[in-house]
Every structure is written in structure tokens, then in C-alpha cells.
Amino acid sequence: MADQLLLHVDGKDQPASDGGEFAVHNPATGEHLYTVANGTEEDVNGAVLAGRAAFDDGRWRAMPPRERARILNRAAVLLAERVDEYARLESLQIGRTLREMRAQLKRLPEWLEYFAAVAQTAEGSCPEFGPEHLNVVRRVPLGVVGLITPWNHPLLITMKKVSAALAAGNSLIIKPSELGPAVPGQLVALLEEAGVPPGVVNFVPGLGRSTGKALTEHPGLAKLDVTGGTETGRVIAAAAGRSLIPVTAELGGKAPVIVFDDVDIDTAVAGALFAAFIATGQTCVQGARILVSRNIYDRFQEVLVTRTRQLRLGDPMDLQTQVGPLVSQAQRDKTAAAVDRAREQGATVLAGGRIPEGAQYANGWFYEPTIVGDIRRDHDLWSEEVFGPVSVIAPFDGEDDAVMMANDSPFGLAASVWTQNVGRAVRVSRRLDIGIVWINDHHRIDPASPWGGFKDSGIGSENGLEAFRSYTRQQSLIINASDTPFDWFGTDEDLRYS
């Protein structure tokens, strides 16, 4: 990784137009990692113009889908070869454990491969239009799309958007989070190495309040796709509404983990632990509310608290570490404040709930994995997204109570249901006002599987055929196949015109 991360516009690396930059630090040690060019409104405009020129001249849009697919598959091969390098850099810049990053990044070539296949097999339609006309409906790319990606899964979430958008034939402007921009930037170079023409994928890092704002308000975009907090999503959706362009927004969550009394407790605790503390809890599908049948609640809580206290918190680059630091001081401060507020409101901290002591933690943004009990539904922690290693645990009485508690949230992104009763699993999942439901599992993903939430968790869906279609629009061609002349104003006869 170079000491400075630059913009990449029209196939060329360049500094910000005003020379501005900011620093990225290692959240585990405070060490300076690299500086980043802070894109300006002028830079954003240049990137959009470059993307538009690339779209208009057809260098990518007009390329046959099969050829686009070959390039995406070449990119998948290159990415697979660089997983270890990218995983190390991801861990350094966001503090997620290297063990987790390696496992996650090994999957990412699948997104390029999947959407390469979709591009080759996508078909239009031919609706019935009567005997005298032929109606051909084809899907065409949108144009220049703006992709705003977060820091918690920098390459994964960038890949989810880029693979679908490119497969459909669009030009792209990527604006990564200022906390983790390095690997998304390297992805752009990799795509051009694989054969994506210069100007098709443009990269403009910068701060959200300036660079992000300039991108979301640019009139030259055909779509906005964002992953981030719900309030950020509202602002971006409003900007898209003013421009009359579509928006996909994957936003906040407060996922329930619903545990019934017929489960093996050790297995369900392991699942809840994974749901709660993978990525140090910094994920929109974190198992933030662990709801347990009252029949097994005491035993489940005992095992969960014991396992939580045993988690190894430390250096994310050590493969023995299980939980790393939070990404920033602001994120740790928010996490600590949420737990302190829960204490003040009468909840009980059963495990964790503090900044760890010791020299190895002194310069990083660490917080102990935390379980909070005696939680009430009027407590802030019941409904507010923390985005840290904090989960609440509460008992329920029967299916109706479990469903009511699970749905008692402004969010509806994800949930998991733990039971050996197939009928119960189906009944409960159907009643959840939630977009992604896992049965006896949590936080599993596949490029073919739709990923999107209900309520305040967002608009639209990533992954799958729907994501590909969302990067296209329909063009309807209506062909007159009749050999009978049509002259509306040349006759008084009743003619069919609609």
C-alpha cells in the first residue's frame, strides 16, 4: 500500500483539486497508515463527466454481455490471488480480525462470477400486443451511478454494488468511507487490469459531509446506491427524489436472535455469540437482541455470559484474536455511552460493559464484548442501533410474544430463528416484518440471495437478479407488423388506435 491514496478518474490517479487530504490510522494501535486525497465538488463533477463520456461512447455499455462477462471473470481470478494482501490491509485500517477478513474476502470473487453469468443470461420479454404489433421489451443500463460504501465491510459491500452495476453496463463513481478506503481503491485498479476500460469505474474518496454530499446532489447521476446509517440514507433518498432517480439504500438494523426451547443450548449460544460479536458487532445484521424462551432463559443466559467473557479481545492481526477494536474513538464513545445509559435506566450489565485495561489496549479503540439483561422495551438500548459489541438478552413466552418482541423495532433488516420444529420456523418467519430471516444460522450471504430490509432498514435489495435489474431500465419497442394502411384522419370509420 502506498503512503497516499489518490483519486482515480478517467483511468488516471490524481490528487484532490485543492490538494486536500486526510489521514487513516490503525484503530488497534493509533499508528498512522496512509493519507487520502479528499475529493472536492470539482473532483466529483470531473468523475461524473468521465463516467458519462465512457457511457456515451459505448466503450463498456455497448460491449457484448459475453465480453463484459469475460472481463469480470478475469477480475475474479485476480481478486482470488490477492485475498491475503487485501485482508491484511482491511484488518489494519478497520480493526476487524484478520481471521474474519480472510474468510470474508475469499468469498468475494463469487460476486464477479455470479453477475458475469447473469449478464450473459439476462433476457428481455415479448408481451402479447395483439396480432398486428410486436412488442419487444429489453433492459438497458441506467448511465452513471453513484456508489456510497461504508467502512465495516469495505470490499464486500463495494463488491456487491460494483459487480451488479458493471455487469449491467453502467459507469460508476465509487465514494468509499473515509475510515476504510484503501481496498476499494485497489479494486478499481484491479478491474482496469482485468480489462474494464478507463473512465468506466471512477474512485473519489473523501469526507461524507463534502465529497459525499457533492456526489449525492450531482444532477448527472442516474442512480444512487448507499449502505450506511438510516439518517444518512434519508438524506440521500431525498437527494435522489429531487433528481427523480432510483435509490437503493441498505441501512440500519437491530436484528433479533429468537431462541426457542427445543434447541441444543450450546449450539444456539454459539450461534448467538457469532451473531452478536462477529466484526466486533459493527454490522447492520448484528444479533443485537437475543430473545430466549423463558423455559430455558436462565441456563441460556448463564452459558452465553460465560462464553462472552471468554472471548479473546486484542490485536486483530493475531490469528488467535477473536474480537478486535472498534473502528474509531467516536464509535467506541457511542458504544460506551449506550451501555452507560442502559445502566442508568435500570438494566444490568451481565458481561463486559467497560473499556479494557492493560498496555495492549492503551492506544486502540477497544471495548469489552457486552451482554445486557433486565432490559425493558422503553430502554434506549432496546431500539437504538449501537454498532458495537453490545447485545441485550430478554425472555419471551410463546410464539406470539416472540414475534411481537422481534417486530418491536423501527428496523426490519435481519433476524434468526433457532428451533428444531420446522413448522414453527415457517410460522414465525412468515410473521416477522423483516427482510432476511435465517433458520438455525445467522449472517450468511450469497451473491444469488437477495439482501434487503423492511421499514427503516432501507429501500431495494442487493444481490440476486433483482439487484441486476435495479441497475437497468426497460425500453419497450412496439413494431407495427400490419400491411393495412392506417390513416386516422382520412376516414370516418371506427379505427383501433389504443
Give the active site residues: 250
**What b/e sequence results for 339-372 when a residue is b if at least 16 CB atoms lie within 10 Å of its CB, and e otherwise?**
beebeeeebebbbbbeeeeeeebeebbbbbbbbb
Distance CA 254, CA 258 (A): 13
Q: Which CA distances in Å does 447 have to 135, 171, 464, 468? A: 32, 21, 6, 11
DSSP 86: H
The span from the CA of 260 to the CA of 402, in Å, is 9
Interacting residues of 340 by C-beta distance below 8 A, sequence separation 6+: none
Q: Which positions ≥6 away from 8 have C-beta within 8 Å?
A: 14, 185, 188, 189, 201, 202, 203
Q: Which residue has the cell 410473521?
A: 431
Q: Which of 378, 436, 434, 377 is nearest to 401 (CA)?
A: 377
CA distances from 244 to 247, 255, 279 (A): 9, 32, 36
Residues 329 and 294 sit within 8 Å (Cβ to Cβ): no
Distance (Å, whole) CA 109 – CA 135: 37
Say if CB 230 and CB 251 are below 8 A apart: yes
CA 116, CA 158: separation in Å to the nearest integer? 16
Q: Is 233 helix (H, G, I), strand (E, B) or coil?
A: helix
∠ Cα 245 436 293 (to 5°) = 145
Q: C-alpha cell of 284? A: 447492520
Strands 454-455 and 411-412 come out as antiparallel
List Cβ neighbours of 285 (8 Å cut-off, separation of 6 or more): 253, 255, 275, 413, 414, 436, 442, 443
Question: Which is it for the CA torsion 308, 312, 313, 318, positive or negative?
Answer: negative
Here the cell at position 441 is 444460522
